[in-house]
Amino acid sequence: MRPWSPLGSLAPLLLLASLSFPLGHFCPAVCSCLDYHTVDCRDQGLPSVPNPFPLDVRKLLIADNHIQAIPADFFIFYGDLVYLDFSHNALASLEEGTFSSSGKLVFLDLSYNNLTRLAAGAFRSAGRLIKLSLGNNHLAEVDPAAFESLEQLQVLELNDNGLRTLAVPALDALPSLRSLRLEGNPWLCDCDFASLFSWLQENQSKLQKDFTTGMSV
């Protein structure tokens, strides 16, 4: 009869734990897996999104790199993401369907990139977003339906872009909006701007501060 071993009795549990918490070789070599659900790939000079990540990653920090695109199928594999910091990269566009399967995403930071336009439904599947940061890009066009389905969004940052106009329907699609940053854009003083200015005044009571101040025209 083989002698009893405490390690032998724990083996099935250890195997189960290793399957449940896929750190180790699942963590990209240039990144740090801070815990079972957080991956930090900041400031590594990355030209593209590394992989694989733990499939149950919930917080991904990938700022301060040189990444030019978010893979179109990214959220199909990492649909548990709640927090994504993609700031300070080189994103020039968002492919249609990029945010498909991103139904758990709450925080998205795309600031300090090279985005020039937001198409209709750009974030259509990210219905749980609460904060969306798009400041310090090169945005010159925001489709009136760019923010459709973002009914829970509370914070929207569009500051320091190239916006000369912004359609009121884009903001009307955000019933939960409480904080809006628009400063630092070269607004064109025309009828569209007058409509935007009126909308800001009408909704001033629900916004945390009056962001009409500092809007250069």
Closest of 105, 146, 144 to residue 127, by C-alpha: 105
Using an 8 Å Cβ cutoff, are 179 and 148 in contact? Answer: no
- Say which CATH superfamily domain 21-217 falls into: Ribonuclease Inhibitor (3.80.10.10)
40, containing H or E segment: strand 38-40
Q: Is 68 exposed, middle or buried (0-12, 13-18, 19+ CB in 10 A)?
A: middle
CB-based contacts of 9, cutoff 8 Å, min separation 6: none
In order along its 217 residues, the chain shows pLDDT tens digits of: 445 444 444 344 333 333 333 444 478 889 998 788 999 999 999 999 988 888 889 999 999 999 999 998 899 999 999 999 999 999 999 988 899 899 999 999 999 999 999 999 999 899 999 999 999 999 999 999 999 999 999 999 999 999 999 999 999 999 999 999 999 999 988 877 899 999 999 998 888 754 443 454 3
Using an 8 Å Cβ cutoff, are 43 and 66 in contact? Answer: no
Using an 8 Å Cβ cutoff, are 182 and 158 in contact? Answer: yes
Domain boundaries, the chain: 21-217
Q: Structure pTM? A: 0.84
Q: For residues 72 and 98, give the distance between their C-alpha atoms in angstroms, rounded to a whole number.
A: 5
Which pLDDT belongs to residue 95?
86
Residue matched to tokens 């600031």: 111
Q: For residues 168 and 195, give the distance between their C-alpha atoms in angstroms, rounded to a whole number.
A: 7
Q: For residues 116 and 119, give the distance between their C-alpha atoms in angstroms, rounded to a whole number.
A: 10
Using an 8 Å Cβ cutoff, are 131 and 154 in contact? Answer: yes
